[in-house]
Structure 1
Amino acid sequence: MARVLVVITPAEGHVNPSLGLVTQLRNNGEEVVYVCTEEYRSRIEQSGAQLITYPFPQDAFSHDPVLKPQEYKHSYQFIYMMVGGIIRRVIPAVLRAIEHQKFDYLIFDSLMGWGGTILAEKLGIPAVCSIASFAFAEPLGSGQDLNEKDDADTMELYEATMKITRELAQEFQVNIPAMEEIPAHAGRLKLVYTSRYFQPQAEKLDDSFIFTGPSIIPRQDAPTFSFELLLERYPQTVYIAMGTILNKNLDFYQLCFEAFGDLPMNVVLSSGRYTDMEPLADRIPSNFIIKPYIAQLDMLQHTDVFITHAGMNSTSEALYYNVPLVMIPLTSDQPLVANRVEELGAGITLDKHNLSPTGLREALAEVLSNPYYKQQAYLIGESLRQAGGYKRAADMIMNHFAKV
C-alpha cells in the first residue's frame, strides 16, 4: 500500500474535516504520516496516523495579527495571509520535519495554496488538495489588476506579498507564481467537503473536484450530555455556538439571554473552553444550559434551530442533520456560507453590526414557525448525506493513484 503525507493547516476548521479521511485511508491499508502541530496530537493519533510536529504558536488564529480572522475587503488581503502567515511559516518547517523521508502522494490543505505545490514539487509526488470550505469557482484575485487608481494600501499589500513569494521561490528553486495563482486549488484531485448542490457555481468546476459532503465522524474526546434532560424540560431546543476562534463575546451572550430568556424552550449554549462566563453567572436564565464544550454532532440531532457564526464545518454539520439556521457571520468565508444557505432557503442571516434582542427573537421565531426553512435544510442535508463522505473520498483517492 501507499505511504501518504498529509499536511493540514493547524486550525480546527481544517484539521477536523480531514480526520475521517485519514481514518479511512488507514483502515484501507495506507500508511499515513500527518504533519501538524502538537495541539492536535490526540485527535490525529486517534485516526491511526503517525504524527510529526513542527513549532507553531498555539491558538495563533485567535491572536496572530496576520492569521487572526478578519473581514477581507480585497482578495489581496487573503492572499497575503496565505503567503505571510502560512506558506512562509509552515512549508519550510514541514520540509525540515520530513527530511529524507519518501512518500507516494500528498494531501495538503487548500489554505496553503501555492505552498502545497511547493511541497509536491520538492518531494516529486502527486497531490490532492483538501478544501474545507467552498471551492473557488473562479480564480481569486482575477479581475483585480492594480493600476494608478488603486489606493496605496492595496499596492503596498501586493508588493509585500510578491516580495515574500519571490524570496520563497528562490529559496526552494521553483517558479514564481502570479498573484492569482497563489490561492489556486492545485493537485490532481481537489477534495471538497460539501455537495455539488451546496457548492456555489459548481457548474464551473471540472471533474477533478470531488464533492464528498462533510466528514461526519464522532469526536472521541467529546464530553457526555444528558439529552433526556432536554425532553423533560421543553419540547423545543435551540443550540448556540459561535465557533472556536470568535466565541468569547460576552456582550453577544448577554443579548441572547435578553432575547430568549423567557421563552418556553431549551437554549443550549456552547461558550468555548477558554471563555470566562463568570461575569454573566448571575444573569443566566433558567431555560439556558451553558457548557464550555458540547459534542456538536450529538447536539444537532436534538436541535430545532442552530444559531451560528456560519463557519463551514458547523453549517454543514447542521444541514447534514436537517437543522435550519439563524446565522451571524463574523469573518473570513462565513458571509459566503451564510449567503449560500439563505439563497437556498435554509436559514436567515443577521448583521453582526446591528444585533438586538428583538432582532434575534424575531429571526428565531420565523425559522421555528415557518416549515419552509426546515424543508430546505432537508434538501441540502440530503445532498450532503448522498455525497458519500470520507469513505467515498478515500476510495476515490486510492483508486486514482492506483491507476497512475
Structure 2
Amino acid sequence: MHIAFITAPASGHVLPTLPLVQELTRRGHRVTYATSADFADMVAASGAQLFALDWSPGKVAASKGGQTTAELADMLLASIRSTERVLPAAHEHFAADRPDVIVHDAITVLGSMLAAKLGLPSVTTFPNFAGNDKFDIARVLLPPDFDPQHPVFRQFVTEMHQLAADFDVPPEAVAGAAQTAELNLVLLPREFQLHGEVFGDEFRFIGPSFGIREDQAGDWQPPTGRLLFVALGTVVNDRADFFTTVIKAFAGSDWHVAMAVGHQVDIAELGEIPANFDVRPFFPQPEVLRHADVFLSHSGMGSTMEAIMRQVPIVSYPQIPEQSANGRRVQELGLGRLLDISRDVDPDELRRVVEEVLADKEIPVNLAAMAAHVAAAGGPSAGADAIEQLMARKADR
C-alpha cells in the first residue's frame, strides 16, 4: 500500500507515530509523511519519504497558572491559518500521488480535509486522550475560564467553517479530535484512557512506543546517587521562575538534578548553578529516564508514557489543560502526584513532594501494573495490523 501520514509539526504528535511508520515500511508499505522539514532526519530514519510543508503553527502560550481562553483561541486561529496556507500544496501532491489511506493526527484537520476531498479512507492517531460521542474530549482540552464568545475564538470558528466551505468538504472534516474516523489508533493503553470503557472496536488502544529515539544518549552520563529529572517539554517551557524554584529546593542536597530548561530560557538568568545540578536546554529523555528516580514533568502525554514505560514516579507541573488532565490521571491511578499550578510552588513544598513520591511504596506497584498494560497493548505491530485489516475489509467489499 501507499500510506500517507499527515501530522502537524509538533514533537508530541509526530514522534509517537514514527515507530508505527517504521513498522509499516518494514512490512513493505510505502509511506509518505507530510509535516515540517524540522523532522526530516527522524522521518528518514523511520523509512518514510518526507513531503515537506512550510508548516509552522503558532506558538503555544500559557500564562503562569494555566492557559486562558485568549491563549487557546490565539493558538487555534494560528493553526487554522497555517492549515489554509499549506493546503494547496498538500492537495496537489496527494492528488497526483494518491495514497490508499490517509493516517492523520487527531488535531491535524489537514489530513481529514484531504481524505474527504480525495475520497480516501482515513485513520486517526491520538497521542493524547481520545473522545467519542460518550466522552466529550472538550472537557480535557478547554481551559477552566473557557468562553465560546471570546472574539478571537469566534474568529477561529468562522475561519474554520469558511476553510471547509472554500475547499468544498463537509464541516465535520475540520472537527479535529471531535470527529471519529473508521479506525482510531490511540497511543496509550485503554487502562490509562479517561472513561476507557466507553470506546468501541473502532478505537484501538495500541499504547505508546518511542523506538526511533531510544539510542540517542549523546554525551550524557548517569550520575551516582539519586537522580531527579526535570523537564517541561518542548512547547510551553518559558518558566525561569519555576526552574529557579527547583534550584532553591534541591541545591546542595543529595539529589543529582538533570534539568532541561528548553530553548526559551537563558540558563544565565537562573543565577549560579549548584554543583549537584546539570542544566541544559535538552537531554536525551529516554536515556535519562532509564536512570531517574523521580520525574518532575509538565506531564505531556509523550513524557508521561515514557515515564510509565520506565516505571519512574511522576510529579506533575502542567502548563496547559490537556497536561493538567494527564497529571490528574497520574494522581488518580497512583503513579505520582499533581502540583497546584494556580499558586507559586514553595521550594520546601516541592522538595517534600518529591521525597514523598519516592518514599511511597504503592507507586512502584502501580507503575509496574500500568507498564504491563503498555506492553500488552501491542504497540506499532498492533497498529500496523489494524491498518492492514481495515484496508483488507475495504478490498473485500
Out of 257, 260, 265, the position equivalent to 1:267 is 257
Task: Give the letter aligned to residue 2 of structure 2.
Answer: R
**1:344–1:376 CA contact under 8 A, matched in 2:** yes
Task: Give the letter aligned to residue 117 of structure 1.
Answer: S
Task: Give the letter aligned to residue 390 of structure 2.
Answer: H
Out of 226, 230, 247, the position equivalent to 1:240 is 230
Match of 1:318 in 2: 307
Match of 1:346 in 2: 335
Query: 2:70 & 2:162 partners in 1: Cα distance?
Result: 23
Q: Following TM superposition, by how much is the alpha carbon of 1:82 offset from its aligned partner in structure 2, in angstroms? A: 8.3
Match of 1:130 in 2: 125
Query: 1:85 & 1:134 partners in 2: Cα distance?
Result: 25
Task: Give the letter aligned to residue 91 of structure 2.
Answer: L
Task: Give the letter aligned to residue 201 of structure 1.
Answer: H
Shifted more, 183-192 versus 197-206: the winner is: 183-192
Out of 108, 111, 117, the position equivalent to 2:107 is 111
Cα gap change, 1:275 to 1:77, in 2 (>3 Å): closer
Match of 2:142 in 1: none
SS of the aligned residue for 2:149 comes to helix
Q: What does residue range 196-275 of structure 1 map to in structure 2 within 5 Å?
A: 196-219=190-213, 222-227=217-222, 230-231=223-224, 234=225, 236-273=226-263, 275=265
Query: 2:258 & 2:6 partners in 1: Cα distance?
Result: 35
Q: Following TM superposition, by how much is the alpha carbon of 1:153 offset from its aligned partner in structure 2, in angstroms? A: 6.3
Cα gap change, 1:161 to 1:177, in 2 (>3 Å): farther
Query: 1:28 & 1:288 partners in 2: Cα distance?
Result: 44
**Runs of 5+ unmatched residues, structure 1:** 143-149
Cα gap change, 1:310 to 1:257, in 2 (>3 Å): same
Cα gap change, 1:383 to 1:119, in 2 (>3 Å): same
Q: Following TM superposition, by how much is the alpha carbon of 1:183 offset from its aligned partner in structure 2, in angstroms? A: 3.5
**2:74–2:152 CA contact under 8 A, matched in 1:** no
**2:58–2:78 CA contact under 8 A, matched in 1:** no
**Runs of 5+ unmatched residues, structure 2:** 140-144
Q: If the length of structure 1 is used for normalisation, what is the TM-score?
A: 0.86
Task: Give the letter aligned to residue 110 of structure 1.
Answer: A
**1:75–1:141 CA contact under 8 A, matched in 2:** no
Out of 67, 71, 92, the position equivalent to 2:67 is 71
**1:54–1:97 CA contact under 8 A, matched in 2:** no
Match of 2:11 in 1: 12
Match of 1:54 in 2: 53
Query: 2:147 & 2:372 partners in 1: Cα distance?
Result: 47
Task: Give the letter aligned to residue 37 of structure 1.
Answer: S
% identity of equivalent residues: 29
Shifted more, 166-175 versus 77-86: the winner is: 77-86
Q: CA RMSD in A?
A: 2.9
Q: Following TM superposition, by how much is the alpha carbon of 1:202 offset from its aligned partner in structure 2, in angstroms? A: 0.8
Query: 1:257 & 1:106 partners in 2: Cα distance?
Result: 46
Query: 2:329 & 2:373 partners in 1: Cα distance?
Result: 14
Query: 1:253 & 1:158 partners in 2: Cα distance?
Result: 32
Q: Following TM superposition, by how much is the alpha carbon of 1:206 offset from its aligned partner in structure 2, in angstroms? A: 0.9
**2:129–2:137 CA contact under 8 A, matched in 1:** no
Out of 94, 98, 112, the position equivalent to 1:98 is 94
Q: Following TM superposition, by how much is the alpha carbon of 1:167 offset from its aligned partner in structure 2, in angstroms? A: 1.8
Query: 1:11 & 1:286 partners in 2: Cα distance?
Result: 34
**1:218–1:297 CA contact under 8 A, matched in 2:** no
Q: Following TM superposition, by how much is the alpha carbon of 1:395 offset from its aligned partner in structure 2, in angstroms? A: 2.0
Out of 286, 294, 316, the position equivalent to 2:275 is 286
**1:20–1:215 CA contact under 8 A, matched in 2:** yes
Cα deviations by residue, 1:34-90 (Å, 9 ceiling, x for unpaired): 111111111111111111112123x84357x9xxx9725599949954863554344
Cα gap change, 1:75 to 1:375, in 2 (>3 Å): farther
**2:294–2:358 CA contact under 8 A, matched in 1:** yes
Query: 1:290 & 1:155 partners in 2: Cα distance?
Result: 39
Q: If the length of structure 2 is used for normalisation, what is the TM-score?
A: 0.88
SS of the aligned residue for 1:136 comes to coil
Query: 2:385 & 2:33 partners in 1: Cα distance?
Result: 19
Match of 1:329 in 2: 318
Q: What does residue range 302-317 of structure 1 map to in structure 2 within 5 Å?
A: 302-317=291-306
**1:319–1:381 CA contact under 8 A, matched in 2:** yes
Query: 2:232 & 2:238 partners in 1: Cα distance?
Result: 9
Match of 1:147 in 2: none
SS of the aligned residue for 2:171 comes to coil
Q: Following TM superposition, by how much is the alpha carbon of 1:370 offset from its aligned partner in structure 2, in angstroms? A: 1.4
Query: 1:276 & 1:74 partners in 2: Cα distance?
Result: 27
Task: Give the letter aligned to residue 51 of structure 1.
Answer: L
Cα deviations by residue, 1:329-388 (Å, 9 ceiling, x for unpaired): 111410110011111111111122331101211111110111112222222222112211
Query: 1:280 & 1:385 partners in 2: Cα distance?
Result: 40
